[in-house]
Amino acid sequence: MLGHPKKSLCTMLVEDHASFRQALAFVLGREPGFEVVAQAGSLAEARQVLEGVDVAIVDLALPDGNGADLIDDLHRYNPGVVVLVLSATLDQKNLVSAVETGAAGVLDKLADLDEIVGAVRRLKAGQAIPQQQKVVRVLRLLGERGDREREQLTAVGELTSREREVIQALAEGLDSEGVAEKLGISIEEERSSVTSIFGKLGVRSRLQALAVASRQGIVEIP
């Protein structure tokens, strides 16, 4: 953006409780590297301001529907967008819906505002957030069935031995640097492997990749 020596992350907040949304916007506004460019209290409002978003923080329980329904739209307008989902209940059905459409992470809505900001930073850097492994365990039990699962099984079979090592390291909660150090590869090789994994599995986030890999039995979640 003009006036910034380094491009700020254009951030959208989708939350129907105005006081919570405004407090989060205030905290983000004081953080270096963030710029809140859009706020919405419903799916309808959010769909009017989808373009130019790097990061979206989305509540699942919105007055006109499930926030997970917005994730596909966000990815369509903003390839590479990082979506952090907030949920007051961590409802299992909604978790599946959110991750299968490309949420990068899920966080309890009762988390501190600073924790939410920290989670966004970690996800943008390709790192895990504390609740991720718990979420993967849930998704492993409630994953898709039928044709989609058979497609994913075929895709898992196409992963190279290195890609399997990378995804297992991700399952252990390691970030990009940790994966590279553990496997003795460069950061560029780690990121290239992750990109290849995404393409083969047809997923949009590390969390979604882990859910697929766990469901197909090729990784163990500690």
Q: Where are the domains of the chain?
A: 9-140, 144-215
Task: Measure the CA–CA gap between 191 and 7, rounded to whole angstroms.
Answer: 21
What is the model's pLDDT at position 38?
96
Q: What is the pTM assigned to this prediction?
A: 0.78
Fold match between domain 9-140 and domain 144-215:
no
What kind of fold does domain 9-140 have according to CATH? Rossmann fold (3.40.50)
Look up the CATH number of domain 144-215.
1.10.10.10
Beta bridge partners of 12: 38, 56
Q: Is the alpha carbon torsion for 208, 79, 10, 186 positive or negative?
A: positive
Task: Return per-residue pLDDT of the chain as tens, 222 residues.
Answer: 334 444 789 999 999 999 999 999 999 989 899 999 999 999 999 999 999 999 999 998 899 998 989 999 999 999 889 999 988 765 677 777 888 888 888 888 888 888 999 999 888 887 777 666 666 666 665 555 544 565 666 778 889 999 999 999 988 888 888 899 999 999 999 999 999 999 998 888 888 888 888 878 888 776
